[in-house]
């Protein structure tokens, strides 16, 4: 890529501490971030990431897409995802991530009394990005609180962190 062309920017945000903890445990702590494959990125391409944490802090990260089939050790890889190898975190970025993890743990220990009166919590599990998006949007439109998982392992981790009312 010529030096005058800036790498594309992707905005990643987490709707809840639970979603963040799953992604942090599976990928972020290992310096990996996953993006949907429909992004048009080639292996070895530089990217910039605007990462919005559930505590409303924002991290600006840089990385390079990994070649298909080169999943990092211990990091699962779905065919419909592209892995980004992030540059090493700065001390400030590490501190921000750790503060968010600590905040998530503190957030979990507080009892939520009105949760019983709130919407139904549903965990949607499907390996197809398109199905997760379409079905998730349709369920949200009907008033359900939907979290998504791309496979059974991610679903188990998400369900253990915050048990859903329904798993679909």
Largest CA distance in the chain: 55
Cα distances (Å, whole numbers) of residue 20 to 5, 12, 75, 111, 148: 31, 11, 16, 19, 12
What domains can be seen in the chain, in order of their start residue? 9-109 (2.40.10), 113-167 (3.40.50.2300)
* Per-position pLDDT tens, the chain of length 168: 555 678 889 898 887 888 888 888 889 989 999 887 777 888 899 999 999 998 889 999 999 999 876 555 544 455 568 899 999 999 999 999 988 888 777 765 555 555 556 789 999 999 888 888 888 888 888 889 999 998 988 888 888 888 999 999
- How far is it, in rounded angstroms, from Cα 105 to Cα 152? 23
Which residues in 121-142 are b (16+ Cβ under 10 Å) and which e? bbbbbbeebeebeebbeebeee
Label residue 88 exposed, middle or buried (CB < 10 Å: 0-12, 13-18, 19+).
Answer: exposed
């Amino acid at each position: 890529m010529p030096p005058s062309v800036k790498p594309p920017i992707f905005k990643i945000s987490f709707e809840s501490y639970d979603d963040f903890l799953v992604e942090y445990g599976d990928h972020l702590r290992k310096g990996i971030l996953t993006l949907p494959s429909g992004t048009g990125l080639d292996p070895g391409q530089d990217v910039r990431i605007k990462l919005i944490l559930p505590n409303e802090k924002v991290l600006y990260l840089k990385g390079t897409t990994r070649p298909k089939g080169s999943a990092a050790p211990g990091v699962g890889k779905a065919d419909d995802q592209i892995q980004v190898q992030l540059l090493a975190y700065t001390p400030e970025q590490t501190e921000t991530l750790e503060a968010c993890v600590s905040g998530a743990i503190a957030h979990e220990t507080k009892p939520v009394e009105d949760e019983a009166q709130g919407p139904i919590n549903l965990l949607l599990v499907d390996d197809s990005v398109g199905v997760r998006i379409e079905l998730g949007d349709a369920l949200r439109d009907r008033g359900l609180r939907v979290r998504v998982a791309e496979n059974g392992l991610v679903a188990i981790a998400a369900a253990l962190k915050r048990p859903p009312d329904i798993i679909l």
